[in-house]
A and B are shown apart, each in its own frame.
Chain A
Amino acid sequence: MIGSTDVVLDRAAAYPEIAGLRAALRRRDWPACRALIDRLEPSARSAALLECGDEQDAEPFLRGVLNADPADPAATALLGHHLIKLGWRIRTGYAAEHVSRGQAQQFRDRLRRAELLLIDGAARHPGDPAIWTARLLTARGLELGLAETRRRLDRALAAQPNHLPAQLQFLQSACPKWGGTWDLVHGFARDAAAAAPPGSPHGLLVVHAHIEHIFGDDGTDVFRYLSNDAIRAEIYEAAHRSVWHPEFRRDHGWLQALNAFALIFTMLDDRRSAATVFTALGDLADEYPWNQVGADVPVQVLQARAWAYEGES
């Protein structure tokens, strides 16, 4: 049997800049943080700022940075994400129906603080896609409506066409649980994947759309859904345009793309295809969307990986 028995869920293992940024943040060394952030390509930059928003107790440090330079766009986006994550932690620490009125209030309060900061950041740096990406999260949490969410996505895409971190956030907001529709989700995913250059990871938007549809809608019959030829064809086409394309590179988004296809191929009962993406992934995996299937992500991944490789041995 091929393959490791390890499952590494740390995104820093796939994107070394995240480890570097976390280390610099822990040292409270903002010049080092900026040096690292400024070197990144815009998608990787937005994603790193989003990812590192969960650094513990970073708020006083980042406030200090912003006091010294209120216009620092990276510090604005990072503190924005930090406050957003603090807010969601209050809310998702409990099952949704057990969020008390006080917790809901605290959640909104954190998100409002993030949004105020980000409004100012967007006013100063309207062309910074990381700020617009963060504002897609506040728009969702504060329930500012789909039209406003779409406007924020458009600003991010105006800053960088095919800005994947913003597109991933919009896809969530377009789901029915946040006031969207499945047609909107699939249409958006298809168009965004088609608009991206061949070999880019954007095919994962198509997969995320189907996974959300399967797990986010109680009425979906998984078997019937996945035996629909049009849906299967769409998934394979997306794979050919992204993870299976010769131009596919380990640029930002590669981990999420391979990971999403690993799950959907497993669900499609396609061992061979699953094995190709598991091989490319090695030990690595990402929480989402495996966490939609079950709570114990490493077990899910290990089982799926073992099953995929069984066909090859």
Chain B
Amino acid sequence: MKRCSSFCILAIAVLACAACGPAEPIEFRYNAVEQLKQERLFMDEGEHFPDSSREEVTSILKILFGTPDRPQRSDEAAAILDLTRLNMAAGPVESEIDGTPHGLYREHCAHCHGISGDGAGATAALLNPYPRDFRLGKFKFKSTPLRTPPTDRDLTRILHNGIPGSAMPSFRLLPDEEIAALVDYVKYLSIRGQLERTLLAEISSLDGESLFEIEQSETAPEIDSMSADEVPDAIGPEFLEDIVARWQNADERVTAVPAAPAGFQIGHADHGNLTSQGRELFFTKGNCTQCHGETAAGDGSTVNFDDWTNDWLKTPGIDPYDRESWKPFMALGALRPRPVQPRNLNLGVFRGGDAAEDIYRRIANGIEGSPMPASAALSSNEIWALVAYVKSLVHANDKFSKP
């Protein structure tokens, strides 16, 4: 009888807790790592951003972008973001009677990439490589040059194909409209994150003044009652226009791939003289061995970090091997610095796509955010020769011999 009573009390307690109400709505995570970086870069030791900064930045972003449950699209972003798609991807996971889904981002992406696209979702610390932080606006595998956002096609392709050898899955089983919704939401998070970083950089240049130049006590009610039109142009929309313009023009900046030279056979390992020419370039002019190593197994002598780590690690001059110096950043949400592992080309796995054109673009454009540079000094024929050599590596027996 005692046990029955205990059970009843426990059940009532749980139900009473449940009756307290639904879970708190989820908010975007503030980029505190960027704030600390800016403070380290531009302020004297012990000085910090004004107390109101966080609230100001958060409020401006809320006005222009809404919340994770109710995304907004400002006029500036109307050309590149579809609000219907954003609503499909945003919010908690649920679906309508006809199967129309909502909350696609939280269903498929948030556990790794995080609610705000900071690449620090719940599972992030255990994944290698870390999930992408969208807030820098940098994407590795794309058809556009460095410092240019990817096209929708690039993002769709990564979502569709996944990235082999990583935790990034293939969403090929999702309908096209759901993938399109996720692409728009990734762009939305990326643009939001870029504006947040821009605003924080702006604050660092204000010499301790408030972004709105108003008293802190008046800040909250004034900002909260603002509409998107009322945000001062010089603070939000002007910066936003610049960021959006870069995304808008991405399609026009796709790197054209010239026709492969005679002797290059798509789908074959034997490319004749091109392969030996490529091997020569691999060891000499291309300087590929520095990272990929002489065996092309990714065992070169250089130790590098990617841009997502360097952004908060090297920019403010923090020693990556001094744990104590980067602990404060980790406490704010940064992930432990990990050196980049150059690709083992002998495996024949190319994360950005294994078609000859994909590898050509990888070599020509480099890989954004990674130590892989764009090959400014190589002609298109030389790049094709490198493609031929790289493609042949998985088959070649003499691949480890120096030319």
The judgment on whether A and B are partners is: no
**A interface with B by C-beta (< 8 Å):** none
Chain B contacts to A: CB under 8 angstroms: none
